[in-house]
A and B are shown apart, each in its own frame.
Chain A
Amino acid sequence: MKMIRAIVRPDRDREVVRALEDLGVFALTKLPVTGRGRQGGAQSGALRYQELAKLMLLVVLPEDQVDAAVTAIAHAAYTGYPGDGRIFVSEVAQAIRIRTGEILPEPARGA
């Protein structure tokens, strides 16, 4: 089981969620965050924004669905300009459904 942490532009929210839905992935958690990448924010004339608004998506999936989900997110979040975001994948040792207390072996699929 893996956790995908995708940090994307907030305005690509709908496209990314739809792309995941097309794969049958409905469960996810979205957090508004701020951050910056290698370019260190954005410059607009005399104004410099050191951090920009981003959206972080948490999705937990069985291992065999991770590649497809990452590809879908990357495709949907793409604009081609700096600041499209990053996708991180990490191990999840355990997932527990609070309602029942059961430990989810496979199809945790988010929150």
Chain B
Amino acid sequence: MSDDDLSEVYLVVRAEERPAVELALEGLLPALHSSFPAVGRGRGGGLRSQRPARFWPFGRPPAGEFLPKIVFYLVVPSSMVDDLVRAVTAAVCAERGDAEHGLGVVFVSPILRETAIVGARPARSAAEVSP
């Protein structure tokens, strides 16, 4: 892994953890990130495994449900991924502890190529270059 290697990181966390994660990210990288509202569920199948029974409607576990999540999408140097995961994990678990399920998951993939969209508009065809 060289210093130039980039990784894309998907942070999938509970929607209500958005401020905590944003704070953690700000402390680590002033760079931009994107976030998207989403819904999701884990291996256990959603609320059934992620919320105490007192939240079950009519005392019964709901089935097939999805929970509000927020997905942060970041591209960072690969050397920063471990710090990033540690910071986010600490931020989320600081509020929730590690007893509750459904705190989220982080996926990391290598970026193969990066092209900045800056400067002059590239020519669309040879004809456009030489009229």
Query: Which residue numbers of A lie inside 8 Å of B, CB to CB?
Result: 3, 17, 21, 26-33, 58, 60, 90-101, 104, 107-111
Contact = CB atoms under 8 A, between A and B. Distances in A.
Interface residues of B, number: 38
Interface of B: 7, 10, 12-13, 36-46, 64, 66, 69, 71, 81, 85, 88-89, 92-93, 96, 98, 100-110
Contacts of A93: 7, 108-110
A101 to B, nearest CB: 5
A96 B105 contact: yes
Contacts of A110: 40-43, 105
A26 B45 contact: yes
B42 A90 contact: no
Given A21-B64, A26-B42, A31-B71, A98 B108 contact: no
Contacts of A99: 93, 96, 98, 100-104
B93 A111 contact: no
B105 A108 contact: yes
A27 B115 CA distance: 32
A94 B42 CA distance: 17
